[in-house]
Amino acid sequence: MYDIESLYEARSVDDACRALADDPQAIVVAGGTDVLVKCREGKLAGAHLVSVHNLTEELCGVRLEQDGTVWIGPITWFHGVTTSPVAQRAVQTLCDACDTPGGPQLRVSGTIGGNVCNAATSADTASTLLAYGALLDVRSVRGTRTIPIGEWYTGPGSCVRERDEVLVGIRIPRASYEGWTGHYFKYGKRRALEIATMGCCCLVRLSADKARVDDIRLAFGVAAPTPIRARGAEDGVRGLTVADAAEKIGLLAQRDTNPRDSWRASREFRLQLIKEMSRRSLLEAARRGGADI
């Protein structure tokens, strides 16, 4: 049973911001695949909800801005990102990540913005958006501010977004995707309907001869209390041949990460996943970039 005290359907983003400001107990809901589960479980008893579900003109879709920035509306379904021609051309690895949460029903009801705002380190888009250096625009009655995704997460399930702020846009700058190829690797005990035991995204930019790693970004979910970039590993393999980088990256990534024990997997098993997933993701990202693997 859903314990909901009130539900307000916003008519615009500004209307949603006013409703959130007027009610200090109100929270945003879009697809509801996270919020409504919490309501049913009693974690949000007596919830006051402000719905942005119908604000499709302002908050839905994927488009390419004049400066080459990929703009993604936060209430875009996972499936909408995966099938977007703009996203497929520019940020294919994010499309791959959006094709992994839950099952088909969830991917046409859950939203990418909800995945970001829920702030779970296991979120399937988290490591990929981190690797792409996404910029997150939030709005309230106080105005709009932009938060780099590297500054977004503050702990397990928490982020810097204030309760009365609405996520109004996810932006990936052209320099963050142009010339890069990648691979998102999700490990779970099942192929679907599974929360990630480990998520790994690797983006690479190869040298002109496709033999060396000119630049690299390696990001993880469930390898620390928040999504994390393995910057030591990135620095350690930048400039190496693809083969040498693949040989070294796993051990370096283990030093950058701090996975935990849980009922899903032990710390030791997650460290082994980090080592192997780093290597495989790098090789696949390089193969997609034209390396002879």
Residue-wise pLDDT for 148-166, tens only, equals 999 999 999 999 999 999 9
Q: What is the pLDDT of residues 191-208, one digit of tens each?
A: 777 889 999 999 999 999
Strand partners, 9: 51
CATH (residue range 56-175): 3.30.465.10
Predicted local confidence at residue 41, as pLDDT: 82
pLDDT tens per residue across span 46-98: 999 999 999 999 999 999 999 999 999 999 999 999 999 999 999 999 999 99
Tell me which residue of 4, 56, 55 sits closest to 27, measured CA to CA: 4
Cα–Cα distance measured from residue 253 to residue 275, given in angstroms and rounded to the nearest whole number:
7
Instruction: Output the CATH code of domain 179-288.
Output: 3.30.390.50
pTM for this one?
0.95
Asked: is 4-51 a CATH 3.10.20 domain? The reply is: no
How much is the mean pLDDT over the chain?
A: 96
For the chain, domain boundaries: 4-51, 56-175, 179-288
**CA separation for the pair 162, 202 (Å, rounded):** 30
- Strand residues in the chain grouped as ranges (E): 4-9, 26-29, 47-51, 62-64, 70-72, 135-140, 143-148, 153-155, 158-159, 166-172, 181-187, 198-206, 213-221, 228-229
Per DSSP, 111 falls in state: B
Q: Is 268 exposed, middle or buried (0-12, 13-18, 19+ CB in 10 A)?
A: exposed
Q: CA 151 to CA 116: how far, in whole Å?
A: 12
Q: What pLDDT is attached to residue 1?
A: 64
| Strand ranges inside 52-197, DSSP E | 62-64, 70-72, 135-140, 143-148, 153-155, 158-159, 166-172, 181-187
The predicted pLDDT at position 207 comes to: 98
What does the alpha-carbon distance between residue 199 and residue 123 come to, in Å, rounded to a whole number? 8
Q: How many CA atoms lie within 13 A of 146 on its CB side?
A: 8
Question: Looking at residue 150, what DSSP letter applies?
Answer: G
Number of Cβ within a 10 Å radius of residue 12: 13
